[in-house]
Amino acid sequence: MEILWPRFLLLLGLIPMIVAAYIWILRRRRQFAVRYSSLALVREAIPRAAQLRRHLPFSLFLLGLASLVVALSRPTTTVVVPSGKATVILTLDVSRSMCSTDIPPNRLKAAKAAILSFIDRQDANTQIGIVAFAGFAEIVQPPTSDQEVLRAAVNNLATARRTAIGSGILKSLDAIAEVNQSIAPSVSGSGSEVQQVPAPKGEFAPDIVVVLSDGASNTGPQPLEAALQAVDRGVRIYTIGYGTASGSAMRCGDQFQEQFFQGGGQGYGGWGFGGGFRRGIDEETLMGIAEMTGGEYYSATSAGELHDVFEQLPTYLITKEDNTEISVVFSAVGMLFTSLAILLSMVWYQFP
Same domain? For 182 and 330 the reply is no
Q: Which residue has the higher pLDDT, 92 or 193?
A: 92
Q: Is residue 185 part of a domain?
A: yes
**Helix 303-312 crosses helix 107-121 at what angle (to 10 degrees)?**
30
Judge if 206 and 93 occupy the same domain.
Answer: yes
Calculate mean pLDDT across residues 82-99: 84
What pTM does this model have? 0.64
**Measured torsion, CA atoms of residues 51, 54, 59, 65, in degrees rounded to the nearest 10:** 180
Distance CA 12, CA 64 (A): 12
In a domain, 352, yes or no: no
Give the whole-angstrom CA distance, residue 264 versus residue 316: 47
Nearest-angstrom CA–CA distance, 104 and 81: 43
pLDDT in tens, 192-236: 454 566 777 777 888 999 999 998 999 999 999 999 999 999 999
Give me the half-sphere count of Cα atoms (radius 13 Å) on the Cβ side of residue 295. Answer: 30
Which SS3 state, helix, strand or coil, does residue 114 take? helix
Both 255 and 184 in a single domain?
yes
Residue 317 has pLDDT above 70, yes or no: no
Question: Is 24 in the same domain as 147?
Answer: no
Q: What is the pLDDT of residue 291?
A: 96
Q: Are residues 49 and 63 in the same domain?
A: yes
- Segment 29-57, tens digit of pLDDT: 665 555 554 555 555 555 555 666 777 88
Please tell me the predicted confidence (pLDDT) of residue 237: 96
* pLDDT tens track for 13-32: 888 888 888 888 877 766 55
Give the residue with greater pLDDT, 332 vs 266. Answer: 332
340 shares a domain with 234:
no
Mean per-residue pLDDT, 136-144: 96
pLDDT in tens, 252-308: 665 444 443 333 333 333 333 333 334 478 999 999 999 999 999 999 999 999 999
**Measured between alpha carbons, how far is 226 from 195 in angstroms, rounded to an integer?**
14
Contact 100, 248 (CB under 8 A): yes
Quick one: 333 and 203 in the same domain? no
Does 134 share its domain with 263? yes
- pLDDT on residue 38: 53
Does 87 or 298 have the greater pLDDT score? 298
Residue 269: what pLDDT?
35
349 versus 109: the higher-pLDDT residue is: 109
153 in any annotated domain: yes
Say what the pLDDT of residue 142 is.
96
Mean pLDDT of 80-106: 84
Check whether the bond before 105 is cis (ω within 30° of 0): yes
Does a structural domain hold residue 340? Answer: yes
pLDDT band at 6 (very low <50, low <70, confident <90, very high): confident
Arithmetic mean of pLDDT, 84-88: 73
Do 213 and 276 lie in one domain? The reply is yes
If asked whether residues 53 and 91 sit together in one domain, one would say no
Least confident of 3-17, 68-82, 281-295: 68-82
128-137, 184-193, 322-331: range with highest mean pLDDT:
128-137
CATH number for 229: 3.40.50.410
User: 128 and 44 in one domain?
Assistant: no
Residue 134 covered by a domain:
yes
Number of domains forming the structure of the chain = 2
Q: Are residues 149 and 57 in the same domain?
A: no
Q: What is the DSSP letter of 95?
A: B
The answer to whether position 133 is within a domain reads yes
151-208 pLDDT per residue, tens: 999 999 999 999 999 999 999 999 999 998 889 999 876 444 545 667 777 778 889 9
Q: Quick check: is 191 in a domain? A: yes
Structural domain of residue 30, as residue ranges? 2-79+326-347
Higher-confidence position of 2 and 213: 213
